[in-house]
C-alpha cells in the first residue's frame, strides 16, 4: 500500500484491519478486607491465593485488591431484561459479577464443596432450557456480596 492509499483508507488493507487476539483476561475485584477475601477465596472456594491477591482455580482468576473505601466495593446489580436475545431467555434475575463455566456433572459437587467450606450459596442449583440448550446455574456470594455464578450448559435432552 502506498502513502496516498493509506491516507485515503486510514484502516489500511484487510490484513492491517485484523486485530491480534486478546490474551488471558483476569478480573480485578475491589474488596473491603483483603485478608478476609484472600482467606475466603483460598479456604472456601479452594483457590490458590498469593500475596499479590491473585486467586486462581482452574480457569478462574481474579485479582483481589484492597478498596480505599467500603463505598468503592460495588457488586453488579441485576441487568435489565432483554427481549432480543437469540433465544427466549431475557437475562438473569440477579446481578452477576463472575460467570464460571463448569462441567454439567461437576456443578452440584462444587456447590456442596463450597457449602461444606462455609460458603454462602445465595441461589441453590436450578436448571432450565432455552434455544435447544439446557442450563444449570448456582450462585455463590463472597464476603463483599460479589456473585459468582457456576454455570453448566448442554444440548437439551428433552
Average pLDDT over residues 46-60: 96
Strand-pair partners of 28: 63
Q: Look at residue 16 in the predicted model and tell me its pLDDT.
A: 59
Where do the H-state alpha helices sit in 12-106? 14-17, 34-39
What grid cell was written down for 94?
440477579
C-alpha to C-alpha distances, 44 to 87, 88, 95, 115, nearest whole angstrom? 35, 35, 21, 8
Average pLDDT over residues 65-69: 98
pLDDT above 50 for 6: no
Please report whether residue 146 resides in a domain.
yes
Average pLDDT over residues 34-53: 97
DSSP state of 106: G
* Percentage, residues of the chain above pLDDT 90: 65
Cβ atoms within 10 Å, residue 152:
21
Strand-pair partners of 48: 56
Q: What is the pTM of this model?
A: 0.81
C-alpha to C-alpha distances, 3 to 8, 12, 31, 108, nearest whole angstrom? 9, 10, 51, 60
Where do the H-state alpha helices sit in the chain? 3-8, 14-17, 34-39, 107-116
Please report whether residue 2 resides in a domain.
no
Q: Look at residue 158 in the predicted model and tell me its pLDDT.
A: 66
As a whole number, the mean pLDDT across the chain is 88
User: What is the per-residue pLDDT across 110-131, written as a single tens digit (0 to 9) for each?
Assistant: 999 999 999 999 999 999 888 8
Please give the tally of structural domains in the chain: 1
Please report whether residue 139 resides in a domain.
yes
> Angle at Cα 18 formed by Cα 13 and Cα 23, nearest 5°?
160
Please report whether residue 3 resides in a domain.
no
Domain span holding position 135: 27-68+91-155
Residues in the chain: 158
| Residue 5 confidence class, pLDDT cut points 50, 70, 90 | very low
Please report whether residue 84 resides in a domain.
no
First to last CA, the chain: 55
Please report whether residue 80 resides in a domain.
no
Please report whether residue 18 resides in a domain.
no
Please report whether residue 129 resides in a domain.
yes
| Residue 98 confidence class, pLDDT cut points 50, 70, 90 | very high
pLDDT above 70 for 45: yes
Task: Kindly report the CATH number assigned to the domain that includes residue 98.
Answer: 3.10.180.10
Amino acid at each position: 500500500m502506498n502513502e496516498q492509499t493509506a491516507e485515503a483508507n486510514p484502516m489500511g488493507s484487510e490484513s492491517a484491519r485484523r486485530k491480534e487476539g486478546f490474551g488471558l483476561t483476569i478480573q480485578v475485584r475491589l474488596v473491603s478486607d483483603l485478608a478476609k477475601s484472600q482467606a475466603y477465596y483460598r479456604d472456601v472456594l479452594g483457590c490458590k491465593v498469593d500475596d499479590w491477591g491473585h486467586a486462581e482455580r482452574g480457569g478462574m482468576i481474579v485479582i483481589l485488591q484492597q478498596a480505599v473505601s467500603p463505598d468503592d466495593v460495588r457488586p453488579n446489580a441485576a441487568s435489565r431484561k432483554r427481549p432480543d436475545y437469540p433465544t427466549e431467555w431475557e437475562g438473569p434475575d440477579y446481578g452477576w459479577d463472575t460467570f464460571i463455566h463448569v462441567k454439567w456433572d461437576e456443578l452440584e459437587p462444587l456447590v456442596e464443596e463450597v457449602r461444606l467450606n462455609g460458603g454462602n450459596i445465595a441461589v441453590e442449583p436450578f436448571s432450565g432450557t432455552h434455544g435447544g440448550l439446557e442450563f444449570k446455574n448456582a450462585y455463590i456470594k463472597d464476603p463483599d456480596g460479589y456473585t459468582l455464578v457456576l454455570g453448566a450448559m448442554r444440548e437439551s435432552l428433552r
